[in-house]
């Protein structure tokens, strides 16, 4: 949520910056609600002041011989009702203004390029050279099916956009998760964290998924009298909310990594990526989250993105890094880098990680603060997160980039210790080893 004072003092700049995201900020409505809020609060405070004066008058009348009931009736007649009315009006306009603020996206940083969609994103770098194949490379669906990747079984059990993995594919998926967690905890300094896969509405409001994106979520109605829960779309939600409604006397940065399944309805993607694992209702991610001081926010984005890149580099998967344009930038993000891995089966780069800084936008919604030891005062944290990486899409990239003409798949060197030394998976019951890959 944006700071109301910041909006008030920079309304034209805010309007222009939000236009970069394709958001039309109604400054007239904001001004009306802001003025109404001030007026309602002033009226309620004025009536409370009158009530204090009236209390003194009641005492004077009682001293002159009037009964307490008569004195109160004479002085307070209608005042309590006016106070109640004024306070209710103030609460209503506060609620209306908060509802408006909750629907306003974060302001993009100045360096975010203008543009409408992913076609306008700006490439920052490329790493690695796509492999030259001596045969026509297949996509991951055809490569993975003989090794235990089954979409038909997923459809039988749950419907479209679900997969079942068995045998070596399931093992590689698990190995990738462990490899990523080990790198981020042992080499990059993150603390491994286990979190709930179901969260309440307040948690999703805190990170910005609600109220705008409810149709993208899987909602779990609870028993009568209980609040509904939602399946997490990403570990960003529960991990970031760990510091909600707190003032932390902690040494910054706080760095956390969590592996979770993620659940998305993909409500706006009908007809897109219907084949394979690119866009599933259920998928696994290893998520990186950092809480930092305001002055460290932008440099931390570079660091966090580098941690995700390190996974791709260790696996020797060619990728490119792009900065998202305003029109492709997420609701809560101030700046985002996407990492896109090369997929030979599609002959294109596809997103495998998004790394974002949110400034104090999420922290203000969650009231996540730290105590500055120099001033002794609470300050809003800055939050960042990124996929380090999406496990299923990393599996896709390995199947396509490491496929062989005979249908087998070489195992990346960095992953072999997590697969018992296996160098290649094949359709044979016992995978053959392959040296020097």
Nearest to 325 by CA among 88, 170, 118, 146: 118
Residues 150-200: tens digit of each pLDDT: 999 999 999 999 999 999 999 999 999 999 999 999 999 999 999 999 999
Q: Which two tokens stand for residue 400?
A: 């396509």
Q: Which two tokens stand for residue 81?
A: 């009702």
Does residue 228 carry a pLDDT above 80? yes
Sorting pLDDT into bands at 50, 70 and 90, what band is 67? confident
Sorting pLDDT into bands at 50, 70 and 90, what band is 61? low
Q: Is residue 264 annotated as involved in ligand binding? A: yes
Residues 74-95: tens digit of each pLDDT: 666 667 778 888 889 889 999 9
Helices (H), 215-336: 236-240, 297-314
Q: Is residue 287 annotated as involved in ligand binding? A: yes
What residues pair up with 229 in beta bridges, in sequence order?
200, 220
> pLDDT at position 139, please?
96
Helices (H), 103-166: 140-144, 151-157
Q: Do 192 and 257 touch, CB atoms closer than 8 A?
A: yes
Residues 314-357: tens digit of each pLDDT: 999 999 999 999 999 999 999 999 999 999 999 999 999 999 99
d(CA 393, CA 398) in angstroms, rounded, equals 9
Helices (H), 103-216: 140-144, 151-157, 167-182, 201-207
What residues pair up with 161 in beta bridges, in sequence order?
none
Q: Is residue 387 annotated as involved in ligand binding? A: yes
State the first-to-last Cα distance of the chain, in angstroms, to the nearest integer: 50
Q: Is residue 123 annotated as involved in ligand binding? A: no
**Residue/partner pairs of 272-279 with CB below 8 Å, 24 or more apart:** 274/160, 274/161, 275/139, 275/141, 276/139, 276/140, 276/141, 276/151, 276/396, 277/140, 277/141, 277/149, 277/163, 277/392, 277/393, 277/395, 277/396, 278/350, 278/393, 278/396, 279/161
Using DSSP bridges, classify how beta strands 348-357 and 382-390 pair: parallel, antiparallel or unpaired: antiparallel
Report, as an integer, the average pLDDT of 208-214: 93
Q: Is residue 294 annotated as involved in ligand binding? A: no
Residues assigned a catalytic role: 264, 279, 351, 354, 393
| Residue 184 DSSP class | I
> pLDDT at position 430, please?
40
d(CA 141, CA 144) in angstroms, rounded, equals 5
Q: Which of 26-35, 83-92, 189-198, 406-415 has the lowest mean pLDDT?
A: 83-92
d(CA 360, CA 316) in angstroms, rounded, equals 35
- Report how far apart, in Å, the C-alpha atoms of 363 and of each of 55, 100, 201, 225, 371 are: 42, 18, 16, 29, 14
If you average pLDDT over every residue of the chain, what do you get?
92
Three-state SS for 88? helix
Does residue 53 carry a pLDDT above 90? no
Residues in the chain: 437
Q: Is residue 352 annotated as involved in ligand binding? A: yes
Sorting pLDDT into bands at 50, 70 and 90, what band is 434? very low
Residue in the block written with tokens 């990124």: 386
Q: Is 252 exposed, middle or buried (0-12, 13-18, 19+ CB in 10 A)?
A: middle
Does residue 421 carry a pLDDT above 50? yes
> pLDDT at position 48, please?
80
403-436 exposure pattern, b = at least 16 Cβ within 10 A, e = fewer: bbeeebbbbbeebbebbeebbbbbeeeebeeeee
> pLDDT at position 433, please?
45
Q: Do 341 and 352 touch, CB atoms closer than 8 A?
A: yes
> pLDDT at position 435, please?
43
Sorting pLDDT into bands at 50, 70 and 90, what band is 269? low
Q: Is residue 385 annotated as involved in ligand binding? A: yes
Q: Is 189 exposed, middle or buried (0-12, 13-18, 19+ CB in 10 A)?
A: exposed
Ramachandran assignment for 316, one of left (phi > 0), alpha (psi -120 to 50 degrees), beta (any other):
left
What residues pair up with 36 in beta bridges, in sequence order?
none
């Amino acid at each position: 949520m944006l700071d109301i004072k910041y909006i008030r003092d920079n309304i034209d700049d805010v309007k222009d910056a939000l236009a970069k995201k394709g958001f039309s900020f109604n400054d007239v409505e904001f001004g009306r609600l802001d003025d109404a809020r001030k007026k309602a609060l002033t009226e309620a405070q004025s009536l409370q002041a009158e009530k204090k004066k009236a209390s003194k008058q009641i005492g004077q009348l009682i001293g002159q011989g009037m009964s307490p009931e008569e004195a109160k009736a004479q002085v307070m007649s209608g005042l309590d009702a006016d106070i109640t009315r004024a306070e209710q009006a103030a609460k209503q306009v506060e609620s209306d203004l908060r509802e408006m603020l909750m629907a306003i996206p974060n302001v993009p940083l100045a360096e975010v390029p203008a543009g409408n969609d992913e076609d306008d994103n700006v490439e920052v770098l490329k790493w690695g050279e796509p492999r030259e194949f001596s045969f026509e490379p297949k996509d991951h669906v055809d490569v993975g099916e003989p090794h235990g990747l089954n979409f038909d079984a997923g459809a039988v059990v749950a419907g479209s956009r679900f997969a079942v993995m068995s045998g070596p594919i399931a093992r590689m998926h698990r190995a990738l998760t462990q490899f990523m967690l080990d790198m981020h905890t042992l080499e990059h300094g993150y603390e491994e964290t286990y979190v709930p896969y179901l969260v309440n509405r307040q948690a999703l409001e805190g990170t910005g998924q609600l109220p705008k994106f409810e149709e993208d979520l899987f909602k779990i109605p609870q028993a009568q009298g209980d609040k509904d829960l939602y399946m997490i779309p990403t570990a960003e939600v529960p991990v970031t909310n760990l510091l909600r409604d707190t003032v932390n006397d902690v040494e910054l940065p706080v760095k956390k990594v969590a592996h979770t399944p993620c659940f998305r309805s993909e409500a706006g993607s009908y007809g897109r990526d219907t084949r394979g694992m690119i866009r599933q209702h259920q998928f696994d991610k290893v998520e990186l989250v950092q809480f930092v001081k305001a002055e460290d926010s932008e440099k931390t984005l570079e660091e966090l993105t580098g941690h995700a890149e390190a996974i791709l580099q260790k696996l020797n998967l060619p990728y490119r890094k792009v900065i998202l344009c305003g029109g492709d930038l997420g609701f809560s993000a101030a700046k985002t880098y996407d990492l896109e891995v090369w997929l030979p089966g599609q002959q294109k780069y596809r997103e495998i990680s998004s790394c974002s800084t949110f400034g104090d936008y999420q922290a203000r919604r969650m009231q996540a603060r730290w105590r500055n030891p120099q001033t002794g005062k609470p300050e809003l944290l800055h939050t960042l997160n990124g996929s380090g990486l999406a496990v299923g899409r990393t599996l896709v990239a390995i199947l396509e980039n490491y496929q062989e003409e005979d249908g087998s798949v070489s195992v990346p060197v960095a992953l072999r210790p997590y697969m018992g030394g296996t160098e290649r998976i094949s359709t044979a019951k016992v995978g053959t080893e392959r040296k020097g890959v």
